[in-house]
Amino acid sequence: MGAVLIDGKQIAANCRNATAEAAAKFNAEFGVTGHLAAVLVGDDPASQVYVRNKERACEKAGLRSTLHRLSESTSQTELLELVQTLNQDSSVHGILVQLPLPAHLNATEILDAITPLKDVDAFHPENVGLLLQGRPRFLPCTPAGVMKMLEVSGTETVGKRAVVVGRSDIVGKPMAALLLQRGADATVTVCHSRSQDIAEHCRSADLLVAAVGIPEFIKGDWIRPGSVVIDVGINRVEDRLVGDVEFAAAAERAAAITPVPGGVGPMTIAMLLENTLHAARLQLQ
């Protein structure tokens, strides 16, 4: 393997420690403990693990977390009512509704109902708009985690060709926005399922961010020698977790690469903690 590993576990641990320190200071100064309310509807096993990890990370960072578990059969009205209650509860600073929601629920309507000042996922249209205008209120957790990894690993983005594969609202689109914003200044291409010549786009990339959700979709020979490869994918294949990139082959060509697991995954939660503390700051009277 020629590539340097970008160690998300270590970088995330450092970020969580920094947030824990900041949370303690904030508490000492204002007498307020940052508080995340997480909402989990149904019993999707992966979502249960994610939510438990988020709770644990909050506790370790000295933030409060409350989990609201609702049954699979919860109605749209019941869920909207819970969101309204959390919006109005001044002890709650951040609200996270774990996705995916059961199919009978309208996720867009639920996420739009979260008051923008408590929207620690940065999914609300107001927060998406602010991000696109270059004046973000919250940074969406996974793309923010990628930016942090680039910063810590000393990866230059200014003037570089960045290719984002995937156009989801959670990762691909906000990732492109962050790489494009002033300061990051990358030249950004976004590829998706209808793109022609994805391999050729990837071969041009100084920085490749893979967020398609298809195991090992990005082949080793699509990697530009000397490039930086960030793999956002977490796919379960039999009993293994694999990314969206053919790791071993890509690592032969890349200068630096993130592993799966232990890459972007841990960064998402670290950024959620930062956002929760930031939300608490925004809500000081």
Residues 125-144 that bind ligand GUN (CB under 6 A): 141-142
Sheet containing strand 64-70, strands side by side? 64-70, 35-41, 94-97
Report in angstroms the alpha-carbon separations of 139 from 15, 69, 142, 170, 237: 15, 26, 9, 11, 30
95: contact with ligand GUN by CB under 6 A: no
Report how far Cα 54 is from the mean position of its chain's Cα atoms. Answer: 12
- Closest to ligand GUN by CB, 213 or 220: 213
Query: How many CA atoms within 13 Å lie on the side-chain side of 284?
Result: 11
Please identify which residue in 74, 98, 127, 258 interacts with ligand GUN, judged by CB under 6 A.
98
Which amino acid makes up residue 66? T
244: contact with ligand GUN by CB under 6 A: no
Which amino acid makes up residue 249? A
Distance CA 206, CA 223 (A): 9
- Least distance between ligand GUN and beta carbon 7 (Å): 21
Stretch that binds ligand GUN, among 5-13, 16-24, 95-103, 236-244 (CB under 6 A): 95-103
- Least distance between ligand GUN and beta carbon 194 (Å): 23
- Closest to ligand GUN by CB, 25 or 69: 69
Stretch that binds ligand GUN, among 92-100, 213-221, 244-252, 274-282 (CB under 6 A): 92-100
**Active-site annotation holds for 221:** no
- Least distance between ligand GUN and beta carbon 142 (Å): 6
74: contact with ligand GUN by CB under 6 A: no
Which residues have CB under 8 Å from 117's CB, separation 6+? 137, 279, 282, 283
Whose CA is closest to 163, among 108, 233, 230, 96?
230
Residue count, binding to ligand GUN (CB under 6 A): 9
Distance CA 234, CA 240 (A): 10
97: contact with ligand GUN by CB under 6 A: yes
**Active-site annotation holds for 54:** yes
Q: Which helix (H) or strand (E) holds 218?
A: none
- Closest to ligand GUN by CB, 55 or 185: 55
From the number of C-beta atoms within 10 Å of its C-beta (0-12, 13-18, 19+), residue 164 rates as: buried
170: contact with ligand GUN by CB under 6 A: yes
Q: Which of 25, 43, 44, 54 is flagged as catalytic?
A: 54
**Active-site annotation holds for 121:** yes
Question: Annotated catalytic sites, by residue?
Answer: 54, 98, 121
Q: Give me the residues that bind ligand GUN (CB under 6 A), please.
A: 96-99, 121, 141-142, 170, 268
